[in-house]
Chain A
Amino acid sequence: DAGITQSPRYKITETGRQVTLMCHQTWSHSYMFWYRQDLGHGLRLIYYSAAADITDKGEVPDGYVVSRSKTENFPLTLESATRSQTSVYFCASYDSGGSDTQYFGPGTRLTVL
């Protein structure tokens, strides 16, 4: 299927565990992003990537690690999950040479107990 997908859609984990959220896009967009969405804060940028092997910190990067070995994948890892990382996580992609529209995945709802 064309588009941007995230997995898992729902995840419950415990404090201290490592969790990886997956993001895959089929358009070969150069840019990919990870946001978290919390009540009262809107969407906040965690990390983004301009191309394979190029990543940059966003507004709230602490506690998260990203990698981008292939253009189509942009996994987000919580190395040691904390309760404050309970949130809904959205992946997005954007074609820098295109319409400037950012496309979002359906989100992953993560609960850290």
Chain B
Amino acid sequence: SQQGEEDPQALSIQEGENATMNCSYKTSINNLQWYRQNSGRGLVHLILIRSNEREKHSGRLRVTLDTSKKSSSLLITASRAADTASYFCATRNSGNTPLVFGKGTRLSVIA
């Protein structure tokens, strides 16, 4: 069953605005990862945050993790049309257990 649940399901913003996507999960985790999928392509890893971390940055990406609320957020700052894609959170419970993916947020950035 799905572990992560992204919110919103779809998001449409203007170029230059910030985009925030949220992910909630059900059980304790070892780490949480965000992936991006362009239309018709495979998923590409964006960023990983471990259970003992609260915030992480990578370029225009900022990820937060709140283990007490079992939630994470992905912020994309100064969005570009090229950021248009679906974004998925995925959790790893422990060790080498398989990643479990949410259903994704579809982001549209309008130029």
A interface with B by C-beta (< 8 Å): 31, 33, 35, 40-45, 48, 50, 58-59, 90, 92, 96, 99-107
Closest Cβ of chain A to B77, distance in Å, is 23
Contact status A102-B42, CB under 8 Å: no
- What is the 8 Å Cβ interface bit string for chain B, positions 72-105, against chain A (1 contact, 0 not)? 0000000000000000101010001011111110
**A28 and B42 alpha carbons, distance in the complex (Å):** 19
Assess whether B69 is interfacial by the CB under 8 Å rule: no
Beyond A31-B96, A102-B43, 5 additional pairs, beta carbon < 8 A: A100-B33, A101-B45, A102-B99, A105-B42, A106-B41
- What is the 8 Å Cβ interface bit string for chain B, positions 34-52, against chain A (1 contact, 0 not)? 0100001111110010000
| Closest B residue, CB atoms, query A39 | B103
Interface size class of B (residues with CB under 8 A): 20 to 34
Contact status B92-A100, CB under 8 Å: yes
**A85 and B52 alpha carbons, distance in the complex (Å):** 39
Contact status A40-B42, CB under 8 Å: no
Assess whether B1 is interfacial by the CB under 8 Å rule: yes
Given A101-B48, A104-B42, A104-B44, residue A43 in contact with residue B88 (CB < 8 A): yes
Taking CB atoms, residues of chain A closer than 8 Å to B33 are: 100-102
Assess whether B2 is interfacial by the CB under 8 Å rule: yes
**A35 and B96 alpha carbons, distance in the complex (Å):** 17
